[in-house]
Amino acid sequence: MSTQVYRHIREALATLRPEEIERHTQRPLHLVLYAHGDQQYREMEEFLMPAELSAAKRAQVRQLIHRASEGFRPLSSQDLEIYFEDSPPDELTPTKGVFAFHPADPACLIASVLKQRGDLAIPLAIHVLPFREEVSRRIIKKVARENALFALATAVPDIIPFVSLPWAVGEFASDTAVLTANQIRMAFLLAAASEHDFGYREQKGEIASIVMGAFGWRAMARELAGKIPMGGGLIPKAAIAYAGTRVVGLSLERFYRLGFGFTRQERRSAYEEALERGRSVAAALLNGIRRKEQA
């Protein structure tokens, strides 16, 4: 990698603000549960506080989860209210933070909460273990799509007005620098969601790996070109940006969850799958941009 690209990456990294993520992790979180009886309360609590939690972590989470039957009520509109599926509506406080728990499909609660209260995604992932996997999955998906969209934007500057990244994209020193910096932002978010320390110093090993691999994804894409025909035009560049970012995210998520990332062979297999998926994502993004241009 050239010295100039390294300099561009350093400049792009200067736009990242891990302290903003730190503030997000500290958002207050309270869950108020509603149910008819003790058994229903226990079902909700067992889902929200699974058996694999340590005693210390369980005690910590118990400070955030309250039974309405014990006199607890929401302290603010930011609190979440979760009711057992057949709880009477007149027991509930009418706020946008009311969600149903269905024992036959408890994962439905996670999806509905994150759809309405994405602002609480990181705090929920930190404190309520069942949310962690889905929050991490959404972080990876979102950043991979952002990088695919940015790759399209650098290929067709006229579509830049339709691009919205959470940090400055107007300073196009190098598309590689921007994509790499966004992957590092993803690393901050994944570490935070996994209850790990995050930041430049805390994640220097992960950051070095991301920077060193910045051009490796293109080389791997060339190797796989015969196996996964990419075609011409704008799609290949965006698909490579998507695939590289997705695999970085998946490997980091495993690292924070299990303590080790992908092997070289696992990375290659994951990249092959992600590259094919990236073609579809890139095509859909490009079609959406063109429809906006025509509107």
- DSSP class of residue 82 equals E
Q: Are residues 13 and 159 located together in one domain of the fold? A: yes
Q: Are residues 36 and 172 located together in one domain of the fold? A: no
Sign of CA dihedral 161, 165, 168, 169: negative
| Domain count within the chain | 2
Distance CA 180, CA 187 (A): 11
256, part of any domain = yes
155 pLDDT band (50/70/90 cuts)?
A: low
266 pLDDT band (50/70/90 cuts)?
A: very high
Flag whether pLDDT at 257 surpasses 70.
yes
Q: Residue 284 — left, alpha, or beta (φ > 0 → left; ψ -120 to 50 → alpha)?
A: alpha
> Which of 72, 101, 121 is the last residue in one of the domains?
121
127, part of any domain = no
Flag whether pLDDT at 138 surpasses 70.
yes
The per-residue pLDDT for 89 is 53
Q: Are residues 163 and 239 located together in one domain of the fold? A: yes
Q: Are residues 254 and 285 located together in one domain of the fold? A: yes
The per-residue pLDDT for 176 is 81
- Residue 114 belongs to domain with CATH number: 3.40.50
Name the token pair of 183.
């992957």
Report the chain's mean pLDDT, rounded to a whole number. Answer: 84
The per-residue pLDDT for 170 is 45
Q: Which of 22-31, 108-117, 174-183, 261-270 has the lowest mean pLDDT?
A: 174-183
Q: Which domain holds residue 57?
A: 31-121
Distance CA 88, CA 36 (A): 9
195, part of any domain = yes
Q: Are residues 68 and 159 located together in one domain of the fold? A: no
> Which of 63, 90, 121 is the last residue in one of the domains?
121
The single residue listed with the structure tokens 């705090």 is 123
Q: Are residues 12 and 88 located together in one domain of the fold? A: no
> Which of 71, 101, 121 is the last residue in one of the domains?
121
pLDDT digits (tens, 9 = 90+) for 78-112: 899 999 986 555 555 545 568 999 999 999 999 99
Q: Residue 233 — left, alpha, or beta (φ > 0 → left; ψ -120 to 50 → alpha)?
A: left
Q: Are residues 140 and 39 located together in one domain of the fold? A: no
pLDDT digits (tens, 9 = 90+) for 48-66: 999 999 999 999 999 999 9
> Is residue 139 a contact partner of residue 189, using CB atoms and an 8 Å limit?
yes
126, part of any domain = no
Distance CA 39, CA 199 (A): 42
Mean pLDDT comparison of 147-151, 162-166, 169-173, 213-217, highest-scoring range: 147-151
Q: Are residues 256 and 209 located together in one domain of the fold? A: yes
The per-residue pLDDT for 171 is 47
- DSSP class of residue 73 equals -
pLDDT digits (tens, 9 = 90+) for 168-226: 444 445 678 888 989 999 999 999 999 999 999 999 999 999 988 876 766 666 665 55
Residues of the chain with pLDDT > 70, as a percent, come to 77
Q: Are residues 269 and 174 located together in one domain of the fold? A: yes
Q: Are residues 226 and 280 located together in one domain of the fold? A: yes
Distance CA 268, CA 5 (A): 25
136, part of any domain = yes
Sign of CA dihedral 143, 27, 114, 51: positive
Q: Are residues 103 and 169 located together in one domain of the fold? A: no
Q: Are residues 162 and 39 located together in one domain of the fold? A: no
Instruction: Give the closest residue to 16 by CA, choosing from 260, 199, 247, 265.
Output: 199
